[in-house]
Every structure is written in structure tokens, then in C-alpha cells.
Amino acid sequence: MIKLQKSLTYKFNDVALLKLALTHRSVSNNNNERLEFLGDSVLGAIISRELFHRFPKIDEGQLSRLRSHLVRGQTLAKLAKTIDLSDFLILGQGELKSGGFRRESIQADTLEAIIGAIFIDSDYLTTNQVVLTLYKALLDEANPEDSLKDFKTQLQEFLQKRGSILPSYELLKTTGQDHNAVFYVGCTLGEEGLSVEKNAKSIKRAEQACAESLLERLKQ
């Protein structure tokens, strides 16, 4: 866990808190869900405050959309990959066999739990510094205008400009119980010969993740 702490630019006083933050509910009842709840709130407050100061001329609606983009599951999963978080996940046998360490929703939830753990282990100012360091590149690239349209809309408009057929979304499968279900969605661009599969805690989020991934590939 030393490597993970270096990547986070934070050394825990109580390493047991970090271990708990990495422990998925498939292991036991003593898991990271409470820390995830706390981390979600702390992250939202930190990002809200930073956007408020960075963009003094945009309105509440734009701030809200931009924040939503930055704290959503797909963004958190991307950040989790930059610190190789999947290498440190503590999962139950079922999740290990099903490849849970690769699941974006688990990585995103775990990163929120780690933020909650840092908050408990230190204070708000320290957590603020860790989060802003982790988010530096995303915040520097943040454009309020991009937040006005979701990724499905952006992908549709991009394809329309090229005269291409619009994307096709399909729900492939659903796993887990109703209150903790994970939805797997596939999206295909027939003319472009591209397809992608993403998962999230709602069909809408999974579709948005597919659209974002395809949009990035088309713009490369």
C-alpha cells in the first residue's frame, strides 16, 4: 500500500482506514460503503468550491453540470486508473472470478471511499489538497461550454456532421441486486466499425460512458 499512498500524495496515520476503503462489500459487512458515502460528499464540496473560484462568471446551472461531469463515476474510474487502483482492491472470491477488479463502478466507488478515509484520517484542508492534486489535469482542461451537452448529444452531433448513421445502444446484461445493480451497455457505430461496452449503476450512465469512449476514439 506504500505505492498507492505515494500515488495519492498522502501517507495515512491509520493504515487500517485505507485497507477498509479498499474493501468491497463482497468481502464482508465491514466494507467501504460508509466511507464511500462520506467521500462522495467531501469530493462534491471540494470540487464545487474549486469551480466556484475558477469560473466566477458562469451561472449556477453551468457550475452544476461541470461539477457533475467531474465527480461522476466514469471520471472517477479514469482517475483510479492513473493510480493503478485496481491493483489494490480487496474483493470477495465471486468478484475476483468475475473480473471485478476491472469494473469501473467498483474502482470509482473505491476512490470515493479513499477520499472519505483521508478526510477521517486528517482534515478538510489536507483532503482538499489531495483531491485537487489528483484532479489537476482535469480541472486545468475543464471548459464550462463542454458541460452544456451530454456525451450522447455530442456524439450524435459529431456523427451528423459527418453524415454518418447514428449510434445503436443495447443493454447487454444486468448483475447484482436491485439496489446495487450494475448495467452493462454496448454501443455500436456500424459505418465506423467501432463498438464499445461500458457498465455503470444506471443504464443512462452506462450509455453516456459508451458515447464518451466512442467520441474520444473518433476524435483521435
Assess whether 14 carries a catalytic annotation. Answer: no
Exactly one of 40, 150, 192, 197 is catalytic; name it.
40
Exactly one of 36, 50, 104, 112 is catalytic; name it.
112
Query: What separation in angstroms does the CA of 204 have from each of 76, 91, 132, 207?
Result: 17, 26, 28, 5
**104 Cβ contact partners less than 8 Å away, ≥ 6 residues apart:** 73, 74, 77, 198, 199, 200, 209
Measured distance CA(207)–CA(199) in Å, rounded: 8
CB atoms within 10 A of CB 173: 11
Of 219, 211, 204, 201, nearest to 76 by C-alpha is: 201
Known catalytic residues are 40, 112
